[in-house]
Structure 1
Amino acid sequence: MAVADGQVVWVGQDTPGVALYGESAEVVHLDGAFVAPAFVDAHVHATSAGLLLTGVDLTGARSVQDVLSAVKQAPGAAVWGHGWDETRFAEGRPPTRAELDEAASGRPVYLSRIDVHSALVSTALVELASRARDSDGWSESGPLSRAAHHEVRRAAKDAVAPAQRRQAQEAFLALAASRGVASVHECAGPDISSREDLAELLALTGGPQVVGYWGELGGVGTAKALGARGAAGDLFVDGALGSRTAALCSPYVDDPGNSGALYLDAAAIADHVLACTVAGMQAGFHVIGDAAVAEVVAGFELAEKQVGAPELAACRHRLEHVEMVSAEQAAKLASWGVVASVQPLFDATWGGPDGMYVRRLGAERGTQLNPFSQLAAAGALLALGSDAPVTRVDPWESVRAAVHHRTDGFGVLPRAAFTAHTRGGWRAAGVDDGVTGTLVPGAPATYAVWRADELVVGASDSRVQRWSTDPRSRVPALPVLEPGAVLPECLRTVLCGQVIYEREGALG
C-alpha cells in the first residue's frame, strides 16, 4: 500500500509498488504484521472514561468492602469513581450512604454504577446538589437514579477543574488510539456533561477525530453552535436495565412494582426529529427498554406523516443501544434510515442464561436483547461502540462479541461486525463517500497496524473465513479469533496519514 498526502494512492503486489514508489518512498516493513482500516467507536463519554483512568476504578469490586476500601484510599478533596455492580457483590447490595460517609471522611464522593444511570453519593456531595432531595429517583440511603442522579452528577462534574478535565480527555483519547481507534463519537448532553466539556473536547488535536453529539431536546441551535454533528446521542427516552430505569412494557421480575422510567413521549420525540430534519441535522435518542423503543417508533411515525420517509432517511437519525427491539420495529426503523448504534460488550457482559439481563427480566425476555442480526437483516446501518466508561474500549473484543452473541442466531458474521466497527462508524456520522473506512485508492489513509499469531477465522463451522490478500476486496476477511484466543495487538494507528499512536520500537 502506498500513501501520499494523507490518502491511499495504490494497493497491490510488491514488485509494481517498488517500481512506482520505491525510490522516493519511506518504506515501513511490517515483519508479519497486517494492516486494516482503523476502528471507529460510535459511542463514548471521553471525560468520564478519562476520569476512570485517573479516579477510582470499581469495575473489579466484588463486595461492599471493596468499594469502601477504595474510597478510603482515594487521594484528593473529592472522590470520583465508576464501575460498581451490586449483582456481583457477595452481599448482593451496594454500600449504604452511612457506610460511604464513614469511608469518605466528609469528602464529596460520586460513584457511578457500571451503567452510569445511578450512583452512590456521599452526604457532602448531596449538600452541593440540594435539588436532588426533591427530585424523582431520590433515596435517603441507597443509590440515586433518574432526575436525582442527574442533579448530583452535575454537581460532581462542576467540581472537576478544567485542567483535570483536559487531562482526563487526553488520557482517554490516547488510550483509544492505542487500541486502533481513529475516531470516536462523543455522546454529550446537559444530563451527561456540559457545553464546555464538549467544546474543549472538540478543540483537541493530535489524537483520534472526535465527532460530537449534543443530546438535548430542542437543542438544534446549541448543537450547531458547538459544532456538533447532531442533536443526538444520549438524549434519554429511558434509563438502563441494571439500574431498573429502562422503560418496559411489563415490570422487572426482580422488582414487580417497577416498569422503569419513560422520559419522553412520542409527541416530544416527533417534534425533536422534525426540528432536526428541517435543520438537516441528525436527531438521536438513548433507548433501551421495549416500551421506550415502542415510543420512539410511534414518534418517527408521527414525524413521517409530516415530512415523509425519504426526508427522514436523508438525515440518518440514530438510536443508541436499542436493545429490546422486535423484527417489525427493526424493519420500520430501517425504512427511516435510522442508525443502530450498538455495544456488543453489553451482551458479552450481561447476556446469557445467567446474566444480569435474565435476573432483571426473566429468561424469556432476558435472552432476547441486542439482536444484531435482526437489525442488520432489516437493513439498518449498524455502528459499533463501547459506551465507555460503561464497557472498555477494546474493538477487537467488541467485534468478537458481535459474532459470538450469547443468544444463538443474534450475532453477525465477522466481516459484517468489522465493517460495523469501521466503515459503519464513519457512515453513522454522515461520511458516506463509498471509500472512507476502507483501504482502496482514493480512501483516506486511516488504518491500524496489528500483530496477530493467527489469521484464520473460526467463528463457527459455517462461518470460517481466511485472510484475503486480494487488493480488490474493500473489506478483507478478518482475524476475529475464537473465544479465549489472544486478540491482535496494535502497533500503530494512523488518521489521514498522520500517526496518532506508535508502540515504541514495534516497526523499527
Structure 2
Amino acid sequence: MPTFTVSCSVLVALLLTSAPHAAAAQPSAGMPQPPADLIVTNGRIYTADPARPLVDAFAVRGGRVVFTGSAREAKALAGPATTVVDADGRTVIPGMVDGHAHFSGLAQKLRSVDLVGTRSLDEVIARVVERARRTPKGTWIVGRGWDQNAWGHTAFPTHEALSAATPDHPVVLERVDGHAAYVNAAAMQRAGLTAATKDPSGGRIVRDTKGNPTGVLIDRASSLVERQVPPLSRQEMRAALRDAVARMHSLGLVGMHDAGASREQIELFADMAQQGELNLRVYVMIADDATALDHYFQVGPRSALYDGQLWVRAVKLYADGAMGSRGAALLEPYSDDPNNSGLLLSAPAHIEDVARRGLAAGFQVNTHAIGDRGNRVVLDAYEKALDARPTADHRFRVEHAQILHQDDIPRFAQLGVIPSMQASHQTSDMYWIGKRLGPTRLYGAYAWQSLLQTGVVIPNGSDFPVEEVNPLISFHASIARQDARDWPAGGWYPEQRLSREDALRSMTLWPAYAGFQEQLMGSITPGKYADFVVLDQDIMRIPADLVLRTRVLSTWLAGRLVYKTPH
C-alpha cells in the first residue's frame, strides 16, 4: 500500500477539520444534551475524519453532526421525536462531492441528444436522425458525447454524411470533452462559416485541401456556430437544473464544484437556493468574463450562502484545450501529429493578471491545463503573481493537470497549488493516449501518486458531462486504474494508484479543502453538515472489480433524505 506524505500546512488544515468541532460539539460527560433529530446506527461508517475514521453510529441535530461513536452512546441522545435510521449493517460514507464538473452542462445534456458510448459515425448520425423526426424543421438539434477515438480510428469526421441525413435542421454536436464540435452544412450556413472565415484566437477550423471547413471546429472555433443556437429559457434551464440535481443525488453526490459559470447562471443558482429548489452544495468558479470578474471582485468572496448551498469565491480560466481533440498544449509535438503542439487558449500574461487580481480580491484562481506546456504556463503565471503578492493559503488550483513534465510535478507543493484531477479521464484516455504522447511522456500522465508524494491533496471529480456523473467510477479508477471490464490486468501504470483511504478522501475531504469548506463538510465529524450516503456494498473492502456494481441506497443532505433507491 503506498504511503502518503503530506506537507505540514495541508496536514494541519486537514486535522483542523475534526478537532475543533469535536471539542465544541461532541457531548461532554455528565452534561445533559438536547435530543438528536436523527440517529444513524448499526452501520459500518467511514467518516473520512482522520481523528476517528470508523464508527458504528452518529447523531444529528439542526442539520449537523453532534456525535460520532458507538451505537450505545448515540442512542443516549434519542428523544421522543428522534428519527432512528437502522443502516442494517450497510456502509455509510460522507456525502460525495464532484471536485470539477459543469452544472449547466449536465442540465443541457439531459435535454440534448446523448452521444456517449456511440461506436461509429453511423450510430451518431442515427441518433441525430431519430431526434430530427420529432423536431420541427429549421429547429436546432444539439448533442454531446461523440468520440472519434472509440470508432476504431482517430480521424475526425466530415460533415457530408451528417448533412445528407439532416438537410432540414442545423446540427451542432459537441465532442465528449467539450473541446470540439461537429456540425452540418445547415449549421455552417446559419453561422456564415466558409473557406474565407479565419480561425479565431485559441481555436481552429478543420479544413479540407481546398480550405473549406470540414464540419469540425476545435476549441474556440466552436463558438462560431454555437453562439447561433438559441439558449434555453430561464424556466427551461431551471427545470433542467432540478433534473441534474436529482441525477446527482441518485448517485450519492451532495455537492459539486462548478468549473466555469456565467453571472446569469450564478444568479439563477442563488434564486433556486433561496426558493428551496437547489438542495445541493455548489462551489462556483466564475467563468473568465471581464465584466463578471469586475463585478464579483468588487463584491468580494462569499461563502456558505443560503444555509451552505452556494459559494462564490473562485475564478475559472483556460490555458489550453484537450488531448482527444489534440488541442492540449504540449512542450513537444504530438507523436501522432508531428506538426501540431496544441493550442494555448489564454495568453500567459492574462492568467498572471487575473491571478494577481484574484489574490488582491481574496479569490481563488483555478485554471484548466491538460498538456505539459499548458501546465507549465499556468504554474509560471501563478509563480509570478505570488512573487508580486505573496499570499499564504491561497489554494490556487490547476484543473485536470493530466500531462506533466517531471520537473513540474514538485512545483505544485512548492507553490501551494492544488492539482484538481479526474480519475475517470485516465481510464477513458488510456486506450489511445500512448499514440498521442509516445512512451516517455506517459510517466507524467495522470501521475496521482507522484503528486501525492510531494505533499499535495488531489480533489477528484468527473468533469461531467464529459464523463459519467457516477462518482464511484472515479473511485474505481483511482484504486484500480482499470476500466469497467477490468482492463488492463494489474492496472494502467499501477504504481500511480491511490489507496482506498485516499480515494475516499479525494471525493469527500479533499474537495472540501480545495473549496475552503473543510470546517463545514467533507467528513462525518461533529460540527459539520450531516451529509452522508448509504451504500449497499463496502467499497473499502470488496474486490475492486465489484465497486462499479455498488448501488446508492440513500443520500442525505443536512440530515434530510434527498434520495432513496426505488425497491
Q: What TM-score comes out, normalization by structure 1 length?
A: 0.86
Alignment: residue pair count: 469
Distance 2:62 2:162 in 1: 55
Deviations 1:189-223 (A, max 9, x none): 5xxxx432343234333432222111316553244
Residues 1:376 and 2:439 are matched in the alignment: no
After TM superposition, the structure 1 stretch with the greater mean CA deviation from structure 2, 293-302 or 282-291, is 293-302
Q: 1:70 aligns with which of 110, 113, 127?
A: 127
Q: CA deviation at 1:9?
A: 1.2
Deviations 1:314-373 (A, max 9, x none): 22111110111245423222232222111000111112xxx1211211232245311111
State the SS of the aligned residue for 1:253.
coil
The answer for the alignment partner of 2:312 in structure 1 is 229
Quick check: 2:96–2:253 contact (8 Å CA) kept in 1? yes
Distance 2:518 2:178 in 1: 32
Deviations 1:451-474 (A, max 9, x none): 11xx3x7xxxxxxxxxxxxxxxxx
Q: 1:303 aligns with which of 382, 385, 405?
A: 385
Residues 1:80 and 2:137 are matched in the alignment: no
In the TM superposition, what are the counterparts of 1:410-429 in structure 2 within 5 Å? Answer: 410-429=496-515
Q: 2:421 aligns with which of 342, 347, 355?
A: 342
Q: 2:335 aligns with which of 224, 244, 253?
A: 253
Distance 1:326 1:252 in 2: 14
For residues 11 and 22 of structure 1, do their structure 2 counterparts lie closer, same or farther at Cα, with a shift above 3 Å needed?
farther
Q: What TM-score comes out, normalization by structure 2 length?
A: 0.78
For residues 327 and 22 of structure 1, do their structure 2 counterparts lie closer, same or farther at Cα, with a shift above 3 Å needed?
farther
Q: CA deviation at 1:120?
A: 0.3
Distance 1:214 1:393 in 2: 21
In the TM superposition, what are the counterparts of 1:160-171 in structure 2 within 5 Å? Answer: 160-171=232-243
Distance 1:11 1:304 in 2: 40
Q: CA deviation at 1:247?
A: 0.3
Q: 2:228 aligns with which of 142, 155, 160?
A: 155
Q: CA deviation at 1:494?
A: 1.4
The answer for the alignment partner of 1:34 in structure 2 is 91
What is the letter of the counterpart of residue 340 of structure 1?
A: P
Q: 2:554 aligns with which of 478, 492, 501?
A: 492
What is the letter of the counterpart of residue 211 of structure 1?
A: Y
The answer for the alignment partner of 1:201 in structure 2 is 269
Quick check: 1:32–1:451 contact (8 Å CA) kept in 2? no
In the TM superposition, what are the counterparts of 1:335-484 in structure 2 within 5 Å? Answer: 335-351=414-430, 355-366=431-442, 368-405=444-481, 406-433=492-519, 436-452=521-537, 455=538, 478-479=540-541, 481-484=543-546
Deviations 1:2-41 (A, max 9, x none): 1110011122222232233154411112223222101010
The answer for the alignment partner of 2:403 in structure 1 is 324
For residues 128 and 185 of structure 1, do their structure 2 counterparts lie closer, same or farther at Cα, with a shift above 3 Å needed?
farther
Distance 2:376 2:550 in 1: 39
State the SS of the aligned residue for 1:167.
helix
For residues 344 and 105 of structure 1, do their structure 2 counterparts lie closer, same or farther at Cα, with a shift above 3 Å needed?
same
Residues 1:262 and 2:338 are matched in the alignment: no
Quick check: 1:232–1:318 contact (8 Å CA) kept in 2? no
Quick check: 1:229–1:282 contact (8 Å CA) kept in 2? no
Deviations 1:402-432 (A, max 9, x none): 1223212112211111101101111111113
Deviations 1:474-493 (A, max 9, x none): xxxx3464135554311211
In the TM superposition, what are the counterparts of 1:80-119 in structure 2 within 5 Å? Answer: 80-90=142-152, 92-119=154-181
Distance 1:99 1:196 in 2: 37
Residues 1:15 and 2:98 are matched in the alignment: no
Quick check: 1:215–1:285 contact (8 Å CA) kept in 2? no
Distance 1:273 1:297 in 2: 11
Q: CA deviation at 1:179?
A: 0.8
Larger radius of gyration: 2
After TM superposition, the structure 1 stretch with the greater mean CA deviation from structure 2, 273-282 or 117-126, is 117-126
* RMSD (Å) for aligned C-alpha atoms: 2.3
5+ residue gaps, structure 2 = 1-57, 207-212, 303-310, 482-491
Distance 1:94 1:297 in 2: 32
The answer for the alignment partner of 1:185 in structure 2 is 257
Quick check: 2:472–2:548 contact (8 Å CA) kept in 1? no
Quick check: 1:266–1:299 contact (8 Å CA) kept in 2? yes
Q: CA deviation at 1:384?
A: 0.7
Quick check: 1:3–1:9 contact (8 Å CA) kept in 2? yes
Distance 2:478 2:122 in 1: 34
Residues 1:240 and 2:313 are matched in the alignment: no
State the SS of the aligned residue for 1:232.
strand
The answer for the alignment partner of 2:47 in structure 1 is none
Distance 1:431 1:40 in 2: 11
The answer for the alignment partner of 1:472 in structure 2 is none
For residues 315 and 220 of structure 1, do their structure 2 counterparts lie closer, same or farther at Cα, with a shift above 3 Å needed?
farther
Q: 2:218 aligns with which of 145, 149, 154?
A: 145
5+ residue gaps, structure 1 = 458-477
The answer for the alignment partner of 1:473 in structure 2 is none
Distance 2:154 2:521 in 1: 47
For residues 398 and 485 of structure 1, do their structure 2 counterparts lie closer, same or farther at Cα, with a shift above 3 Å needed?
closer
What is the letter of the counterpart of residue 391 of structure 1?
A: E
Distance 2:227 2:542 in 1: 40
What is the letter of the counterpart of residue 115 of structure 1?
A: D
What is the letter of the counterpart of residue 280 of structure 2?
A: P
Distance 1:149 1:215 in 2: 17
The answer for the alignment partner of 2:244 in structure 1 is 172
State the SS of the aligned residue for 1:36.
strand
The answer for the alignment partner of 1:474 in structure 2 is none
What is the letter of the counterpart of residue 315 of structure 1?
A: H
State the SS of the aligned residue for 2:77.
helix
After TM superposition, the structure 1 stretch with the greater mean CA deviation from structure 2, 128-137 or 2-11, is 128-137
State the SS of the aligned residue for 2:174.
strand
For residues 63 and 263 of structure 1, do their structure 2 counterparts lie closer, same or farther at Cα, with a shift above 3 Å needed?
same
Residues 1:288 and 2:370 are matched in the alignment: yes
Distance 2:377 2:154 in 1: 33
The answer for the alignment partner of 1:460 in structure 2 is none
Deviations 1:431-463 (A, max 9, x none): 132x621112222111111111xx3x7xxxxxx
